[in-house]
Amino acid sequence: MTGETKDIQKVTGKLIRQFGEKVITIEDRGGSAIPSVVVDKAKILEVLFFLKADPDSAFDMLTDLFGVDNNKERPRFELIYFLNSFKNKMRFAVKVGLEDGESVPTASGIWKAAEWFEREIYDMFGIRFEGHPDLRRILLDEEFEGHPLRKDFPVEGPDFDKPFVVELGEEK
Amino acid sequence: MAETRFMTINMGPQHPATHGVLRMVLELDGEIIKKSVPFIGYLHRGVEKLAEARTYHQALTLTDRLDYTNGLSNNLAYCLACEKLVGLEIPKRAQYLRVILCELQRLAAHLLWLATHALDIGAMTVLFYAFRERETILTIVENVTGARLTPSYIRIGGLAKDVPPEFETMVEAFIKEFPKRIDEYETLLTENIIWKKRTQNIAFLSAEDAINYGVTGPVLRASGVNYDVRKAYPYSSYDEFDFMIPLGSKGDVYDRYVVRLQEMRQSIRIISQGIERLPDGPVNAHALGVVPPEKEEVQHDMAALIRHFKIMEEGFKPPAGEAYGAVESPKGELGFYLVSDGSNKPFRMRIRPPSFLNLGAVPKMIEGQMIADVVAAIGSVDIVLGEIDR
């Protein structure tokens, strides 16, 4: 466990030296949470590319990429890039804050896996990704209105508790 | 000279070889695939959204219905994330039982894959043999959990109840018999010339591509990448078990078949070690506000009954924070990322579905292949749409 923490400290230290404290903020939530940093939106692609290329981090796999809607808090949305390194055996999360209506550059040039993840985030939260090769809805229908994982989207429809009435035609 | 025109074919969503409701739009030049686009979402139920309206204990039942061949591993991944959030220490007996049950479930899932994959390609016999053994496993699972496919047996803090007394003998009898059954499947397929011609050198995925597409599980290991969550980030005492990670070299359909069959043999090793060293003791962590009391206690003690309802109705409130729990499911790395805001319901439950990413790599695999091999490629990836669409 201690070896892993040391490796992570090396990664975060290098990130701060490379990009400065204005861009990178280390989150310390202790416990068993995945170590993470919050990155300025303008520099996100550079940071991700650095994390993939640098031998001390070598995060070769994008395990997951998803959004969180913080509801009333600021920033409203949070994107979490969840990385995994086979070589260094560690996991790392990179977070970006977004306001409603803002977009981020796509990471599909760095990891192909991001392509479907970003389509899902667009589908569920309505966040747009600049330069994405094929930004369509992925799980919901093209004609669906709204983005379900936003907190202002209701869990239940207006008629969820109404009885389902079957109207039978008259028999001849 | 006539101009070349590509033909577009719609495969699915009602196609027996797509294992559910997957639709592929294929662009063909004669019999060669130029481009393919998967369409998913026909089975979308909004599990991630539904979980936000349920307490932590209630959301457990949603996880059964993701990868329905693999209910117990789904339960485990979710519970691991919750337990990290609350900071629970699980008793050794529960950890070992979780390992044994998840490995049994892996065998059942791999058998279902083997049966349907072989059936897709045309080897129908295997189906009957594989389903016979799968039935034995499901009987054990039913005996322990009360359900065949949606067990909800692994709970936050431990297990729903201890296993019945005949559990060990049932499992021992099964693992004594099962290696011979795998030999049987192998005599049917491994050196079968038709099987080899249909699977070898088909639907390649290089190691770089596999990593780039985020592929995990047997598909990744068939491409020669040694990554298994059980070894890389051990959970539930997997580090105390002695087993190997089978690897492929070429990353074709045949390699994926070989890797999965080897994995089944390794699973038997894990199960037999687990049964041999199964410790005694409680199966639930001691955490009053989180773990509901035992059934017997509830039936005789008024206070326990109240506690039971309080925990089930109101749930518990983990501290605000985030936690990630992941298991090596039969399909790959299945992870749950939970964000808690300090209330009794998850603020956000993110599921990292392995099949979703594995399917994402299928267009890459089948590009330039024959149309008849699409079925073999999809079968070899072993997708479950319940998990992809969530």
Pick the CATH number of A2-130 from 3.30.460.80, 3.40.50.280, 3.40.50.720, 1.25.40.10: 3.30.460.80
Q: Tens place of pLDDT for every residue, chain B, 390 residues?
A: 667 778 888 887 877 766 778 888 888 888 888 888 988 888 888 888 888 888 888 888 888 888 888 889 999 999 999 888 888 888 989 999 999 999 999 999 999 999 988 888 888 888 889 898 899 999 999 999 888 888 889 988 888 888 898 898 999 999 888 999 899 888 888 888 888 888 888 888 888 888 889 899 899 999 888 888 888 888 888 888 989 999 888 888 899 999 999 999 999 999 999 998 888 888 888 877 888 888 888 888 888 888 888 888 888 888 888 888 899 999 989 999 988 888 888 888 999 999 999 998 899 888 888 888 888 888 888 888 888 888
Confidence (pLDDT) at A2: 46
B195 token code pair: 């099987």
Residues B155, B57 contacting (CB under 8 angstroms): yes
User: Which residues does residue B340 pair with via DSSP β-bridges, in sequence order?
Assistant: B321
- Domain segments of chain A as ranges: 2-130
pLDDT of A31 > 60? The answer is no
The alpha carbon of residue A140 is apart from the nearest alpha carbon of chain B, in Å, by 6
Q: Do B324 and A91 touch (CB under 8 A)?
A: yes
Q: Where are the domains of chain B?
A: 47-389
Q: What distance in Å separates the CA atoms of residue B124 and residue B115, rounded to the nearest whole number?
A: 8
Tokens matching residue B271: 């199960």
Interchain contact, A112 vs B335, CB within 8 Å: no
Confidence at residue B110, expressed as pLDDT on a 0 to 100 scale? 92
> Which pLDDT score, from 0 to 100, does residue A1 have?
45
Pick B389 or A33 by higher pLDDT.
B389
* Cβ contacts of B93-97, under 8 Å, gap ≥ 24: B93/B278, B93/B279, B93/B280, B93/B281, B93/B282, B93/B283, B94/B158, B94/B159, B94/B282, B94/B283, B94/B284, B94/B285, B95/B236, B95/B237, B96/B237, B96/B274, B96/B277, B96/B278, B96/B279, B97/B159, B97/B163, B97/B274, B97/B278, B97/B283
Question: Quick one: fold of B47-389?
Answer: Cytochrome-c3 Hydrogenase; chain B (1.10.645)
Q: Give the distance from residue A3's alpha carbon to the nearest chain B alpha carbon, in angstroms.
A: 14
- Residue in B212, B348, B356 closest to A68 by CB: B348
Strand B7-11 and strand B23-29: pairing?
A: antiparallel
The pair phi, psi for residue B309, each rounded to 5°, is -65, -35
Query: Which of B44, B53, B321 is the closest to A31 by Cβ?
Result: B321
Say if A116 is an interface residue toward chain B (CB within 8 Å). Answer: yes
ipTM summary value: 0.83
Of A28 and B105, the structure prediction assigns the larger pLDDT to B105
Nearest to A148 among B46, B53, B321 (CB): B46
CA distance to A123, A156, B270, per residue, from A105 (Å): 16, 33, 45
CA–CA gap between residue A129 and residue A150 (Å, rounded): 17
Which of A118-127, A148-157, A159-168, B316-325 has the weakest average pLDDT? Answer: A159-168
- Which band of pLDDT confidence, cut at 50, 70 and 90, is reported for residue A171? low
